[in-house]
Amino acid sequence: MKAALVAIVVLLLALPFGTMRAEAETFDCQRPSMPLARLICGDAVLRAADAEENEFYDTALTASLDKAALREDERAWFAAQILPYNWFAQQHAPIDNAEIVKTYRQRDGALRQKTQSWRKVRHSVPGTSLATTCIALPQQSDNCTVAASAPIEGTSSLRYQRLTYAQPATASAIVIFAAEPDRRDDWLPLAVKSSKRASLSAPQAIASPAGTLILIAGNADSDGSALYRLDQNALQDIDDRSWLETLQSHLPDGLELSPEIDADYGKMQAVATVTRSQSTCCAVGGSATIEFAIEGDRIVVDGVMFGEPRDSPNDHPN
């Protein structure tokens, strides 16, 4: 699987909140480090609006079957609608706090709608319909076709649908179902991965040191991957992107890795190439092996090891 170090990483590294934003507030108001944080933490109305939006987001995240898409949507909303106020606060320019509150309130409404839409999807469907009838996903067109439906190899009680859409809103979606206990041939949707630009691969079960993982991968033009940990018949959504945001902090100063990284969740490792190095630890062209772990609901970097370039003289002894 290929994972790209996208441009938003630079932006997100500067933010004081985690990827999931599961806390009641976006900012650490005990130590507000950026002007925007000081602005919101220093105003009771703004701070309350921010905390309320976080609560709506957490509720929507719990209800959603496509948590990866909601996380990306939340990042994009924050970057476009809230983060620009940091520049005005930094320049001591006039800011209309009421407009910020209005922006939060509008987001609250959108998150409420997402919550309600996903709750309607969370009901069992008969197994006889999985091969022919699309499950109705929020904000998708009715012009849907079931392109594939099959058991997930390596698991005993999971199936999937691959859905394709004629409208440009979404190119494809994968829906994972689990058999309902004690209900013959009834299937409950557990997770959804959608892509706007390319088809997605069939889900695959991976035996890993962290347990059985379910991976939905896309090709180079897709909207990324989705990763889950299987716990009996439940799927725990695993954030497999935020580790990219912290990777640089695990590297020596002056060292950079290639933007494309091969991740192997069976080994809980990723391999990249050193593209720039002012450190004595590693030569340009050398390999970097990134060790993973799962903490809570996300992949984290557990360590980085470096190797010699493939064309190193050490590989060709006299």
- Residue range 66-105, pLDDT digits in tens: 998 898 899 999 999 999 999 999 999 999 999 999 999 9
Q: How many CB atoms lie within 10 A of CB 166?
A: 11
- Beta pairing partners, 163: 146, 173
Lowest mean pLDDT among 48-52, 58-62, 120-124, 199-203: 199-203
State whether residue 151 is helix, strand or coil: strand
pLDDT of residue 182: 79
Instruction: State yes or no: pLDDT of 14 exceeds 50.
Output: no
> What average pLDDT does this structure show over 99-128?
96
CB proximity list for 253: less than 8 A, separation 6 or greater: 278, 279
pLDDT tens digits, one per residue of 139-191: 777 788 999 999 999 888 899 999 988 865 567 899 999 998 877 789 999 99
Return d(Cα 140, Cα 173) in angstroms, integer: 10
How far is it, in rounded angstroms, from Cα 82 to Cα 79? Answer: 6
> Pick from 161, 221, 164, 222: which is nearest to 191 by CA?
161
pTM of the model: 0.80
Q: Under the phi-then-psi rule, with left for phi > 0, alpha for psi from -120 to 50, and beta for the rest, what region is 232?
A: left
Cα–Cα distance for residue pair 52/55, rounded to 1 Å: 5
How much of the chain is helix, strand and coil, in % rounded to 5?
A: 30, 30, 40
Give domain limits for the chain: 2-121, 140-238, 242-315
**How remote is the C-alpha of 137 from its chain's centroid?**
19
pLDDT in the model for residue 11: 38
Digit-coded pLDDT (tens) for 279-293: 777 888 899 999 999
pLDDT value at residue 195: 85
Q: Cα angle vertex 144, ends 174, 200, to 5°?
A: 25
DSSP 28-90: -TTS--SHHHHHHHT-HHHHHHHHHHHHHHHHHHHH-S-HHHHHHHHHHHIIIIITTHHHHHH
